[in-house]
Amino acid sequence: GCAASIDGELADAWLAWSDSVLGQANGTLTWARYHLAAAEGDRARTVASEALALASAPNQPLVRLAAHRLLGEIETVLGNFIDAERHLTAALDLAGTCEAPFERALTLLAIAELHTAQGNTSEVAALLDDVCHLCTANTRPGRRSRGSSVRNAAR
């Protein structure tokens, strides 16, 4: 916790010093993830919304995608399923526009988590099959275990 906070503060200080517009959205998104991990859902939502705004000017579609996905994950945790679906749909659309299959897989995984949280487990298996298909050529440690966790929770 403390080391992550110090690293984030150093990155923020460097961005402020450099007057760099690019990078601010990523840094803010990192803070939103930090707040979500610290179980500060409302603060995470506020900071992720700031990241989304920063990623819109100048247009940074991959960062916007990540911000929408994180907002969807935050809203899922907070039980705001309509807002979660709206953000995850926007993220999925951006993944298609950007032709980013791994980002699509991560977003489908978040959608599967949303369905699981809603108790709508009938669609989870198909979503996870899509995730596994997309990740087959691009496997990274941890992604399959997250998918397995969602699949087990949906049973």
pLDDT of residue 88: 98
From residue 75, give the alpha-carbon distance in Å to each of 45, 79, 108, 152: 8, 6, 15, 22
Q: Which two tokens stand for residue 126?
A: 């198909």
The closest alpha carbon to 128, from 100, 96, 152, 93, belongs to 152
pLDDT 10s digit of each residue in the chain, 155 long?
544 554 555 545 544 544 556 678 999 999 999 999 999 999 999 999 999 999 998 899 999 999 999 999 999 999 999 999 999 999 999 999 999 999 999 999 999 999 999 999 888 989 999 998 888 865 555 555 666 777 777 77
pLDDT of residue 138: 57
From residue 52, give the alpha-carbon distance in Å to each of 4, 12, 45, 116: 21, 17, 10, 26
d(CA 62, CA 67): 9
C-beta separation of 84 from 72 below 8 A = yes
Tens-digit pLDDT profile for residues 115-128? 999 999 888 989 99
Single pTM value for the model: 0.78
Pure H helices in the chain: 2-18, 24-37, 41-54, 61-78, 81-97, 101-118, 124-135, 143-154
